[in-house]
Amino acid sequence: MDRHRRKSRELPMATISPDEFAQYRRYLPAVTKAGVMATYHISQHSWYKLRDGKPVKISVLATLRRRFAVVTGVAG
């Protein structure tokens, strides 16, 4: 189990700025488990971590940014 914990801590993590978070929040119809998942395909827990300035996995940020492009119509 310790090996698993160590491995999870080594995953690439990142945070976003409050301005970037505010941009995502503007397009979120409801800050609920269903609303966050339906809009950005990330968990509400990850959403709260981003809101609080805590790091999340790089893959979570990639999913959020990809979905934001779709939601805002920027995706090609």
Q: State yes or no: pLDDT of 17 exceeds 80.
A: yes
Q: What's the pLDDT score for residue 3? A: 55
Q: State yes or no: pLDDT of 19 exceeds 90.
A: yes
Alpha helices in the chain (DSSP H): 2-9, 18-26, 33-40, 44-51, 58-72
pLDDT by residue (tens digit) across 38-71?
A: 999 999 999 999 999 999 999 999 999 999 999 9
Q: What's the pLDDT score for residue 74? A: 84
3 vs 41, which has greater pLDDT? 41
